[in-house]
Chain A
Amino acid sequence: MATFNLKINNKKHTVEADADTPLLWVLRDHIDLVGTKYGCGIGQCGACTVHVDGNAMRSCLLPVSQAEDMSITTIEGLSEDGNHPVQQAWKEIDVPQCGYCQSGQIMTASAFLNQNSNPTNSEIRDAMHGNICRCASYNSIEKAVKVAADKIS
Chain B
Amino acid sequence: MNLSKQQTFSRRSFLKTSALASGGMLISFNLFTACKSDVKPPVDISQLNFNDFNAFIKISDEGKVTIFSPNPEIGQGVKTSMPMLIAEELDVPWEDVYVQQAVLDTENYTRQLAGGSQSIRLGWEPLRQTGATAKQMLVNAAAAKWGISPSECKASQGIITNPKGETLGYGDVVKEAALLDVPGEVTLKDPKDFTIVGKNTSNVDIDKIITGKPLFGLDYKEEGMVYASVLRPPAFGQILESFDDTAARALSGVIDVIVIGEKARIHLEGEKKNWTAQLSKSDKVVVIAKTTWDAIKGKKAIKAVWKNDSELESTESHDKILLDLLNGEKFDTRRKDGNVKKAFANADKILERVYESPFLPHNCMEPMNFFANITPEKVHLVGPIQSPEDAAKVVSDMLDRKLEDIHIEMTRIGGGFGRRLYGDFIYETAEIANKIKKPVKMVSTREDDMTTGIYRPAIKYKIAASIKDGKLTGYHLKEAAVNINMYGLIPNFFPAAALENYQVDTANYKSNITTGAWRAPYTNFLASAEQSFFDELAELLEVDRVQMHLDLLENVKSNPEPNIEYSPERLQGVIKLVVDKSNWGKTGPDVYQGFSVYYCHNTHVAEVADITMENGNPVIKKVTCAVDCGIVVNPLGALNQVRGGIIDGIGHSMYGELTFNNGVPQSNNFNSFQLIRMGQTPPEIDVHFVENDIAPTGLGEPTLPPVGAAVANAIYKATGKRLTKQPYINNMDLEKVVG
Contacts and interface: CB of A to CB of B under 8 A. Distances in A.
Interface in A69-117: 74-76, 78-79, 81-82, 87, 90-91, 94, 96-103, 106
Contacts of B252: 1, 18
B104 to A, nearest CB: 20
Given A97-B77, A99-B215, A131 B670 contact: no
A25 B365 contact: no
A133 to B, nearest CB: 8
Interface string B674-712: 011111010111000000000000000000000000000
A49 to B, nearest CB: 11
B413 interface: yes
A32 B219 CA distance: 9
B291 A35 contact: no
Contacts of B641: 97
A54 interface: no
B207 A99 contact: no
Contact of B679 (A35, A100, A125): A125
Contact of A98 (B297, B365, B647): B365
Contacts of A94: 200, 202-203, 206, 636-637, 640
A95 to B, nearest CB: 8
Contact of A40 (B227, B415, B446): B446
A105 to B, nearest CB: 10
A18 B293 contact: yes
B117 interface: no
Interface string A23-59: 0010011101111111111101101000000000000
A132 interface: yes
A77 B519 CA distance: 35
B211 interface: yes
A64 to B, nearest CB: 9
Given A94-B640, A103-B212, A129 B446 contact: no
Interface in B452-503: none
A153 interface: no
A39 B446 contact: yes
B23 interface: no
B643 A136 contact: yes
Nearest to B637: A94
B161 interface: no
B433 to A, nearest CB: 18
Contact of B669 (A40, A47, A134): A40
B277 to A, nearest CB: 25
A99 B212 contact: no
A20 B637 CA distance: 42
A34 B365 CA distance: 15
B365 A134 contact: yes
Interface centre among B77, B211, B414, B669 (most CB of A within 10 A): B211
B358 interface: no
B206 A36 contact: no
Contact of B644 (A91, A97, A132): A97
A139 B623 CA distance: 12
A25 B679 contact: no
Contact of A140 (B73, B413, B640): B640
A100 B651 contact: no
Given A44-B671, A129-B679, A29 B211 contact: no
Contact of B367 (A38, A102, A125, A136): A38
Interface in B642-690: 643-644, 646-648, 651, 669-671, 675-679, 681, 683-685
Nearest to B417: A134
B585 interface: no
Contact of B366 (A82, A100, A139, A140): A100
A131 B678 contact: yes
Nearest to B219: A34
A91 B210 contact: yes
A80 to B, nearest CB: 10
Interface string B197-227: 0001011011101111111101101000001
Interface range, A side: 35 or more
B220 to A, nearest CB: 9
Nearest to B252: A1
B501 to A, nearest CB: 39
Contacts of A38: 218, 292, 367, 443
A5 interface: no
Contact of B211 (A30, A37, A82): A82
Interface range, B side: 35 or more
Interface string B213-246: 1111011010000010000000000000000000
A135 interface: yes
B412 interface: yes
A38 B670 CA distance: 13
Contacts of B219: 34
Contact of B365 (A18, A47, A91, A130): A47
B363 A75 contact: no
Given A129-B678, A136-B647, A29 B75 contact: no
Nearest to A32: B221
Contacts of B636: 94
B445 interface: yes
A50 to B, nearest CB: 10
B215 A91 contact: no
Given A37-B365, A47-B365, A87-B211, A28 B685 contact: no
Contact of B293 (A21, A36, A99, A106): A21
B114 to A, nearest CB: 11
Contact of A134 (B253, B297, B364, B679): B364
A39 B414 CA distance: 10
A36 to B, nearest CB: 7
A41 B445 contact: yes
A128 B364 CA distance: 19
Interface in A4-28: 17-18, 20-22, 25, 28
Contacts of B677: 129-132, 138
A131 B413 CA distance: 19
B291 A25 contact: yes
Contacts of A33: 212
B382 to A, nearest CB: 14
A132 B675 contact: yes
A107 B366 CA distance: 18
Interface string B394-435: 000000000000000000111111000000000000000000
B211 A100 contact: no
A78 to B, nearest CB: 8
A83 B398 CA distance: 48
A61 to B, nearest CB: 13
B184 interface: no
Contact of A136 (B77, B445, B651, B739): B651
B211 A138 contact: no
Contacts of B209: 90, 96, 99, 102-103
22 contacts: A18-B252, A21-B293, A22-B293, A25-B291, A25-B293, A34-B212, A35-B213, A37-B366, A38-B218, A39-B367, A42-B671, A44-B669, A91-B202, A91-B210, A94-B203, A96-B209, A100-B366, A101-B365, A132-B677, A134-B415, A137-B640, A137-B644
The 6 closest A-B CB pairs, nearest first, are A35-B212, A98-B75, A100-B414, A75-B212, A136-B647, A44-B670
Interface of B: 73-77, 200, 202-203, 205-207, 209-216, 218-219, 221, 227, 252-253, 291-294, 297, 363-367, 412-417, 443, 445-446, 636-637, 640-641, 643-644, 646-648, 651, 669-671, 675-679, 681, 683-685, 739
